[in-house]
Structure 1
């Protein structure tokens, strides 16, 4: 929007605008989509090295540090010529800065685009690395196997034994979780009784202290306040295996 104040045009808004425009392109929509990309659909942009065009002359930076002359003063014509030259060089400087700002903006946009591509590639690699091996892939290993061979039968038996071991381990953990749950319920019940008894003892202690204080007893001679015992804790256990 031309009427939008420049200070309100924040980097985050520029980023969302870039994403919006990328979503309307074929290559950009692949980077913004959730499905995993493939090698032939992943656009890889070659780096573009840009410079200020030669058609825009470089300012004469020597004018920023004028030479010390022996002339006591300058004529009006000399001053006007110097001012004119400074204006000319200032205009060239403005043109150079504008072009460099444009180059930086385009380079930043390319970095964002390349970063999105790298993230999608990293996701694809991660999914490939974390892919769970199926029984078929473990048995055949991508090769032709003889189903009646001793090696194949041994592989089947090992896989079945591994499944049985995992199932037994899961069942044992299930029993352990149930046991820990029962222990926790019993501890909570006992803890509630302890707090209730402690409240009764504190009330009786408070009444007794009031009677002794009324009888002239000193505070240091009063009975100590009953203490609440420590709550039992369920023993720590290994992390449960995720199903």
Structure 2
């Protein structure tokens, strides 16, 4: 099974128990799946193919016959009327109970292992079903061609008014798409020019700051030579913040604002 291939972190006593959380187990499972050829198909974004990644069949397991079952009748209270028992009888009874308790512990461990393997299989199946659902969604939402939109899978009368309206609507949609692309191209070009202008302005600001610092340094040296105190020296010029490119929302707000005429004031 899956956990036998990947190993169990619970067997390592050096691992911090706080790391054995459900999220940690999920990340470990995804990491192990990504390292396998079959599991990596479930974690990648490209489309998957049915013959490359078949769905795992359900695994139905029971406790193996080699594991002896305990005598559950010993868990019920005894019906004997004996007021007391001999020491040897109690020792024999305790030995039998310890033996049956060991068998019970063995059965519990086997069933826990079966449950863990079943849970791992369900997680693997869930990932596969999710990828299949995504592939079906992409197939359903696939963009139809212009021919499919016009004819809709059946014969059409090319001289009918409905066909004319469909062609007109299709042309208007194409024009709107082209207009949107052109508007985006203009916005990108304008922002590119604004960015270049900001870079030129920033370079000029740094040059002016360097010149101002040199002038300030010369002035401070002269004042110190004349006996001025350091606390009385003029402050060092600051560079200032770099101009920021306006966001698209701010530009749209500025375009929507109408200019105010002098007659309206």
Normalised TM-score (structure 1): 0.68
CA apart distance, 1:198: 0.9
- Give the aligned partner of residue 193 of structure 2: 182
Aligned residue for 1:228, secondary structure, equals coil
Shift in alpha-carbon separation, 1:144–1:57, aligned structure 2, 3 A: farther
- Give the aligned partner of residue 221 of structure 2: 210
| CA distance in structure 1 between the partners assigned to 2:148 and 2:97 by the alignment | 76
Could you tell which deviates more after superposition, 102-111 or 187-196? 102-111
| CA distance in structure 1 between the partners assigned to 2:117 and 2:227 by the alignment | 89
- Aligned to 1:84, which of 73, 92, 95? 95
Written as runs of structure 1 = structure 2, the 5 A alignment for 1:73-222 is 75-222=86-233
Aligned residue for 2:227, secondary structure, equals coil
Cα contact 1:37–1:120 (8 A) shared by 2: no
Cα contact 1:31–1:116 (8 A) shared by 2: yes
Cα contact 2:224–2:230 (8 A) shared by 1: yes
* Gap regions ≥5 residues in structure 1: 64-68, 239-243
CA apart distance, 1:199: 0.7
Aligned residue for 2:248, secondary structure, equals coil
Cα contact 2:212–2:237 (8 A) shared by 1: yes
Written as runs of structure 1 = structure 2, the 5 A alignment for 1:9-48 is 16=32, 35-37=48-50, 43=55
| CA distance in structure 1 between the partners assigned to 2:186 and 2:107 by the alignment | 75
| CA distance in structure 1 between the partners assigned to 2:230 and 2:216 by the alignment | 13
Runs of 4+ in 1 over 4 A off after TM superposition: 10-13, 30-34, 41-53
| CA distance in structure 1 between the partners assigned to 2:105 and 2:196 by the alignment | 77
Cα root mean square deviation, aligned = 4.3
Cα contact 1:198–1:227 (8 A) shared by 2: yes
CA apart distance, 1:196: 0.9
CA apart distance, 1:212: 0.8
- Give the aligned partner of residue 241 of structure 1: none
CA apart distance, 1:230: 3.8
- Give the aligned partner of residue 56 of structure 1: 69
Cα contact 2:48–2:135 (8 A) shared by 1: no
1:231 equivalenced with 2:223 (yes/no)? no
Shift in alpha-carbon separation, 1:44–1:138, aligned structure 2, 3 A: farther
Aligned residue for 1:232, secondary structure, equals coil
Provide, for residues 158-213 of structure 1, a one-character-per-residue CA deviation record: whole Å limited to 9, x for no partner: 11121122112212321332222122112211211210111111111012112212
